[in-house]
Amino acid sequence: MKNVFIIGSRGYHFNYGGWETFVSNLVDNYNDKETIFHIATITTKKEEKEIKINDNIIVNPIYVSIKGSPAMFLFSVKSFFFYLNYVKKNDLPKSYFYILGLKLANFLGITKNTLKKYNIITLVNPDGLEHKRGKWNYFVKKFFLFSEKSMLKNSDKIICDAIGIKEYVDTTYPNLKNKTTYIAYGANSIKFTDEFKNETLKEYNLSDNNYLLMVGRCVPENNYEFVIKEFLKSNINKELVIISNISNGNYYEKLVKETNCLNNFRIRFIDGVYDNKKLAVIRKCAYLYIHGHSVGGTNPSLLEALSLTDLNILYDVNFNRDIGLSSCLYFKEENSLKELLDNKEYLDSQKEKLGKSAKKIIQNNFTWDIIVKKYKKIFK
């Protein structure tokens, strides 16, 4: 029996973002009776107990009293030591610690002998380039650079979820090249009836094929401000719908102030849609999807867009091009997005061809069946 301990995600089926989407889909699609997944879940309730979902999935609540970004740092450290003690106490023959993100500083180095003694194999997924994210201040960026160096050096294996991240690690730390491997996220296959589609569009006051869509966390590196300003300069006769965590963060307030977008009837925010089936409908029925993410690896939101939306316009960075290839259109310079949106005749002519190409990319590279097979070679 193999035990895989997942550290760094907020939890299992936790309504938040990329890590949480990844963890839930990975363990739900794994289907191996010889593997038990232990998933650390952040909680503010001291009394929460371990939850056994089934024989192969166990959720362990980790109490954290503080809130905001510091909470995730403390949560990752507490989860790491909780599972270290768990392995010691239960004398497990072989365990994997899969650490998502770069929040453990030098704790892998400090505990290296203990990890080796208890036959614990450590895997680190560095996510994106954390030290370049606009939401962090100077000191946090410096911490992430230090943590990156220490965690990658002291891990047994490095899992990169984007080709660009693997290239960054291999170039920056050439002596670690033999430890890196590329495994992306997967995309869900979601089907729905016409009745469900119509009910969902009505619930969110949307018209089929009559809106542009953005989905993602409201943070600077997702380029909401740039996209909004480009959209407002364009003459496209459709609304821009942005689905984001607008109730959880100060950046939304700054964004609204900088763009004055709430005074324009063409722009609408929706505060999170965490029902996967409803979100699939909204994606499928969008005229086009705009992906503004500029820092990070393979984003689940992008994969879901390629699997459902026929026309996708992506911010032009290698992380996005490595996935979208020639199935997408790209923007980056000022007026580049505006010019695309103003050329509706061109967009209409490309939509069907690009949509088929995008779905072929997902089918050939990013189904959960493909991704799970790669992880089974890691957790062997």
Neighbouring residues of 361: CB distance < 8 A, sequence distance ≥ 6: 306, 323, 324, 325, 327
pLDDT of residue 297: 67
pTM, to two decimals: 0.88
Say which amino acid occupies 171. Answer: T
pLDDT of residue 141: 87
pLDDT of residue 249: 67
Which residues in the chain come in under a pLDDT of 70?
A: 16, 128, 134, 248-249, 296-297
Strand spans (E) along the chain: 2-7, 35-43, 51-54, 57-63, 95-100, 120-125, 157-160, 180-182, 211-215, 239-244, 267-271, 288-291, 312-315, 329-331
User: CA-to-CA distance for 123 and 125, rounded, in angstroms?
Assistant: 7
Q: Is 260 exposed, middle or buried (0-12, 13-18, 19+ CB in 10 A)?
A: exposed
- In the chain, the domains with their CATH numbers are 2-187+367-378 (3.40.50.2000), 194-365 (3.40.50.2000)
Say which amino acid occupies 84. Answer: L
User: In the chain, what are the helix, strand and coil shares in percent, each to the nearest 5?
Assistant: 50, 20, 30
Q: What is the pLDDT of residues 325-380, one digit of tens each?
A: 999 999 999 999 999 999 999 999 999 999 999 999 999 999 999 999 999 999 98
Rounded (10°) angle between helices 251-259 and 224-233? 20
